[in-house]
């Protein structure tokens, strides 16, 4: 998909603006964990006149790779990408199958991409609901990924309420395994105990959650962990998300006074 004349002319201006944004960032206040809701693939396909949704999905997954390189350059240590919700699985097979294929392609190439070099990767969610081929691709991604300090969490067939249900079930199973009587289990259930069984228990809670496509809702993303996160709702569809959009979100984040519910 080639650039229009207007886009070609604007590129140098965006580069200048990006440099200004970079210089204005207080690096000591950058987020340690960024969550992203990659929304707007189908609407982008319609707006851009693409032949099918698969073309938009491919652009969107290229953008994921590019986004990880931006995070690497700014030394953001943890990223969580919500690439497929549990609710998405109710879409027609004609929409889902091409997306599954594009995800498999992303998982195959990701360990070799410079932006993801050395990143440890974990895939979370109700992955048992996914086709076997995609599950196997996710396992291979985890196995081939690096062991560096940077972390990537890929949320597939993910639902925030289901994560909390799974965490409570795991906690109760652990208590039962330790021989805690049913009558005494309630005393062992608190926020810290549940938090220790979440999918992302070994990560800091997200500081910043970005959602694209102009939607101003979380749809259950990291429902527990993002209780005190800051939010950035970008008007652009995910495949059209630019580095300048990311830098704006970071600039606004660094200027906010975080209250953590106080």
CATH number of the structural domain spanning residue 115? 3.40.1180.10
pLDDT of residue 7: 58
Of the CA atoms within 13 Å of residue 51, those in its CB half-sphere come to 4
Range of the domain at 36: 30-159+198-252
Residue 4: pLDDT band (50, 70, 90) is low
pLDDT of residue 12: 76
Strand partners, 165: none
Assess whether pLDDT exceeds 60 at residue 84: yes
Is 171 a member of any domain? no
Choosing from 88, 166, 170, 245, the catalytic residue is 88
Which whole number is the average pLDDT over 115-120? 94
Rounded mean pLDDT of the chain?
93
Is 133 a member of any domain? yes
Is 22 a member of any domain? no
Q: What percentage of the chain exceeds 70 in pLDDT? A: 95
CA distances from 105 to 80, 87, 206, 219 (A): 19, 22, 27, 26
Is 226 a member of any domain? yes
Residue 3: pLDDT band (50, 70, 90) is low
Is 108 a member of any domain? yes
CA distances from 206 to 17, 76, 78, 105, 221 (A): 27, 11, 8, 27, 11
Q: What is the pLDDT of residues 26-75, one digit of tens each?
A: 999 999 999 999 999 999 999 999 999 999 999 999 999 999 999 999 99
Assess whether pLDDT exceeds 70 at residue 1: no
Q: Verify whether residue 39 is a known catalytic residue.
A: yes
Can you say whether residue 61 is alpha, beta or left, with left for phi > 0 and alpha for psi between -120 and 50 degrees? alpha
Which whole number is the average pLDDT over 211-226? 95
The tokens of 189 are what? 């259930």
Three-state SS annotation for 64-116: HHHHHHHHHHCCCCEEEEECCECHHHHCCHHHHHHHHHHHHHHHHHHHHCHHH
Residue 260: pLDDT band (50, 70, 90) is confident
Q: Count of domains in the chain?
A: 1
What H or E segment, with its residue span, contains residue 53?
helix 53-73
Q: What is the pLDDT of residues 238-257, one digit of tens each?
A: 999 999 999 999 999 999 98
Q: Verify whether residue 235 is a known catalytic residue.
A: no
Is 186 a member of any domain? no
**Local structure of 124: helix, strand or coil:** strand
Is 189 a member of any domain? no
pLDDT of residue 97: 96
Assess whether pLDDT exceeds 60 at residue 234: yes
Which whole number is the average pLDDT over 175-187? 95
């Amino acid at each position: 998909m080639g650039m229009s004349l207007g886009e070609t002319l604007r590129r140098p201006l965006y580069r200048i603006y990006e440099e200004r944004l970079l210089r204005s960032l207080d690096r000591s206040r950058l987020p340690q964990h960024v969550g992203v809701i990659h929304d707007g693939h189908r609407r982008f396909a319609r707006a851009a006149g693409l032949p099918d949704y698969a073309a938009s999905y491919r652009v969107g997954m290229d953008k994921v790779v590019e986004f990880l390189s931006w995070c690497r350059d700014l030394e953001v240590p943890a990223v969580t990408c919500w690439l497929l919700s549990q609710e998405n699985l109710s879409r027609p097979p004609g929409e889902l199958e091409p997306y599954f294929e594009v995800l498999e392609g992303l998982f195959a190439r990701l360990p070799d991409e410079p932006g993801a070099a050395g990143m440890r990767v974990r895939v979370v969610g109700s992955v048992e609901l996914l086709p076997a081929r995609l599950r196997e691709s996710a396992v291979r991604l985890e196995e081939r990924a690096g062991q560096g300090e940077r972390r990537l969490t890929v949320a597939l067939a993910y639902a925030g309420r289901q994560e909390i249900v799974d965490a409570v079930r795991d906690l109760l199973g652990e208590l039962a395994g330790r021989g805690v009587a049913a009558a005494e289990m309630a005393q062992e259930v608190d926020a810290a105990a549940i938090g220790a069984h979440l999918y992302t228990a070994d990560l800091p809670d997200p500081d910043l959650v970005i959602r694209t496509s102009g939607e101003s809702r979380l749809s259950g993303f990291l429902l527990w962990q993002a209780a005190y996160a800051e939010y950035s709702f970008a008007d652009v569809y995910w495949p059209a998300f630019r580095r300048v959009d990311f830098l704006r979100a970071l600039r606004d984040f660094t200027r906010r006074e975080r209250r953590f519910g106080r």
